[in-house]
Every structure is written in structure tokens, then in C-alpha cells.
Chain A
Amino acid sequence: MMGKVKPFQFYNESRITTFTGIKANSLSSMYKGIHKVSEESIFFHMHQCYFRPHFSPADNMNDFARWIWIHIGEYSITEKLAMVDPFLCDSVRECRKKLLTYLKDYLGGGAFIPRVSRDKEFYFLESKSFIYPAGFEAKNLNEFRKCIQLSAINSIFYHMISSRMRYGHKINDYSAWLSENLSENEKAERIAHINLFSSNLWDIRDRILVILDGK
């Protein structure tokens, strides 16, 4: 084990949603919207699926792809947008660029662009986040497991997803701490390799617990 253990401080990231005032009723207005909205809005729509309880992987796609799939019914562009993995993007800016490139290519291909009725429009939302101590910390593996089990879903979101994207960390907070403070490299590695792209936060927490139990 390496030197003195620095306790792991658990944080929550609680989010409230606001409407940006921008909406889309077709692929071209979706393109314009993605171009125009804030990075917070792109971040919101790329990650909202992690908060959606579901048991079918078909529903597990970012909000842009999901809307096109359900309301526009253009499957080829849906597939392309669904494959934009935010964890393979270095920044939200890069994510936006990828989305826009796919949409631009599709729109440039001369496809017929249907419009949806008013009640099926896409509303660009964004969230205001508050990051604050969850009120507990862990100094060893046993405490760490207990804290994970006790964590709110928003805490899992912060440590596994948000802090990486916001602060450009290469690895999630849990893996970094397990490796640097407890030398639990194997567990750290396995947590780092959980496929976030096809999971929701409840599943992610369950998988972390299984790994911490050494199963």
C-alpha cells in the first residue's frame, strides 16, 4: 500500500433543468439548435440517458438520436448520432462537432426532411448543477463499499461521469483513488472498464459493488 491514505470525499451533483428557449421540429432545425445551444445543453442531452431507468438497450441512446428515432424515423442518422460516445470525446465541444458533422453530411445528401407536429418538437434543455459534499468519506475499502451503496445516483454520476467531462480527468474518481491510495489496481481497472455507454446509473452502481466485493 502506498503512504498515507487520503480519504475519498464523496460529492453529490444535483441538477435542475431549464429550457433554453430553442427547439427543433426537423433535422435541419436540430442541426441549427445543436450549433447554437450552450455546452451545458449538449452535455445535458448527451448524458440524460444515464438517468433513464430502462431495461431495453434500444432506449439507451443520447437524446438527439432518440428523438430522431422516435419522431423523425430516419434510422441511418439515428444510428450515427447514437454512436457518438461522449467518453471518446475530449470535450463537449468535440461532441458537438461530431454531432454536427453527421447531421451536415446527412442533410447534404438531399434526403427528404420531414417535420414533426408542434407537440413532438425537440426542446433543448440545460441543467444548473450544484456540487457539494455528500457528507461522508472513506478511508479503506470496506468504508468505500459502504459509501458507494449509500451514495445517491447523482453522486455516482458526478464521480463516474461528470467530473471526468468537466475537469478533463483521464479516469473516473473511484478508480483514481483506489489505485493511488489503496493500490487496488485490479479493482480500479475493472471499474474504469465498466462500459458506461450502454448502462444507466443504477446498473453502474450495481456493477461497482460487484467489483468491490471481488466477484
Chain B
Amino acid sequence: MTDSLGHVRELFLVNHHALPPLTVAIAVGALLPKALASSHWAHRTPRTALVVWSVLALSLITSLSLAFLQLLLPAADSHQLSRFVESCIFFDGADCPPLPLNSPADAGIRVWAAFAAAAVAPVAFTAVLVREFLSAKRRRARHGELLRLVGSRQPELRATVLQHDAPAVYCLPGRAPQVVVSSGALRVLTEQQLAAVLEHERAHIAGRHHLLIAAAAAFGTAFPGLPLAHLVRTEVPLLLEMTADDRALRRCSRGTLATALYVVASGQAPHSAVAAGGPSAVLRVRRILTPHATSSPASWRAFAAFPAAAALTLFVMACCSVPGITDWPSK
């Protein structure tokens, strides 16, 4: 094969390794999320759905990273990288070929550019995540500081009470987590309703839900415009609410929890602006009131979805790192 022919061939072959991760990125970034959001089992089994959303998000970051890497990497180096991964990582370093890669001199920069491009998605997400954690932590610290000054600890409720007419119940997660109830909420809730509401908030604290919510918010910010990012941002908090509802339902009746939700919501001054989580409360109440919506075992699809998503991720990794699979288009 002549040199010029080799170059032409390389031009056309440069991108073929980028196709599997790109396909997965499109699938998990745009197609699967819509299917998952409109599926019936997700809200029935919120814990499973949360795992699936997390796997989709991680798959997107991984596949984007690999796609960028392969788009910029010359085909020859791409193959060598595959061999490097195979022999140095999978087979304990026997016959480890050297990196940096032995491509034509001008391609050296391209290799480093490819590695830099591969880092873009994970680094961007990590940066937004750290910022999100820190700002949430700062807001919580400020809130907790004022709360300590004006709230009164009620050991028999295991909660802090704020003197205010509007009914409000929330939890302040973090290092010194606490459940906060306004005096307005104590006034409108019955004893059973209050117990249900407190149980719901304690489930948030026990499950450390704030970490997942921060991660979902960061994911939404890091990949704007992507259907997966938008849906992770709205679905993850809703699914966590449902998880906490389920936990509260172990201790109280469906009617108690549903009416408690209504009593707190209707007691607050109506907010005519578009509320961020508005319709979610309606979904939650309908779900709480429908027995099979919370207690049925996960459907076969719920169990199939997780291994499928995991297998998809493994497939991408394999396609980009095992020569036996990846060499077929160039031979």
C-alpha cells in the first residue's frame, strides 16, 4: 500500500471508532430518557428508576468522553490505544506497548489533544458538581445559623419549630441535619398527619437525598439542552420525594399522607408564577392514593433496564478498547 493511499485510508478510518460511543451518547442522551420518563414502572419503583437514571447519566459522560477521544485520535493510534488498554490493563502489563504512541511526528499533538478532549465532559461535570455542592453547603450553613437563633428545638417532635403562620415543613440536610416545621403547619396538621410528614422528611435525611439532588442539578447544568439532562434534573428530585413517601407509608395510612400533602400545599399562599415542582405534588398524591402504584413489585422491565444500561456501557468500553472487536472495520 502506498503512502498516499494510506493517508487517504486514514482520513476515512479516523472516525470509525467514534461511532459506537456516539451512538450510545445519542441513545442515552436523547432516546432512552424520554422512554424512561414516560414509562409506568419508573414511578411505581422509584428506587430502581433512580439507579437507572444514574446509570444513564454516567453512561452519557463515559460515551461522550470516549467519542471525543476517538474523534481526534488518528486511527493508527486508536488501534494502538486499544492494544495498550488490552495488554496493560486487562492482562497485568505483560507485553505492554509503549505510550506515547508511535504515530507520524505531526500526529503527536493530535494524540494529546484527543486525551484533553476526552477529559472535557468528566471535568466539566465534576467542576459543576463541586460548585453545586459548595453553594448548597453555603446556603445550608447560612440557613442553619439563622435557624439556630430564631427556631426553637422541640425534643418531643425531634424537630425545630419556626414561629410563622404559613404551613411549611422541610429538612435541612448536612452535617447537623434537622427537620423544621412552622407553627402554621402544627396548627393545620392532625397528629397522624404530622407524624407522616416528619417521617417523610426523616427519610430524606436518612437517605442523604441532598447529595443525589445536587448531583442531578449539576448534571442538568453541565449538559444544557440535552433531554437526559433536563429529565434527570426534574425526575430525580421527584423520585426521591416518592421514595420518602413510601417510607412514610410504612407508618401511616395512604389517606393520612395524601391529605397532609394537600393541607400543607393549600395552606400556603398560592403562587401564580410557574412553580418549579408544581405538578409533582399532584403526581405524588395520585400515586399515594393508588395502592398498586406504590406496592407492586418492580416489573420485568424495571429489572431488565438496569442490566441493559450497564451492558450498553460495557459494550461501548469494549468497542473502544478490545482490538478483536474494534479492528473489524479497518481490515
Q: Answer whether A and B are interacting partners.
A: no
Query: Which A residues contact B (CB, under 8 angstroms)?
Result: none
Query: Which B residues contact A (CB, under 8 angstroms)?
Result: none
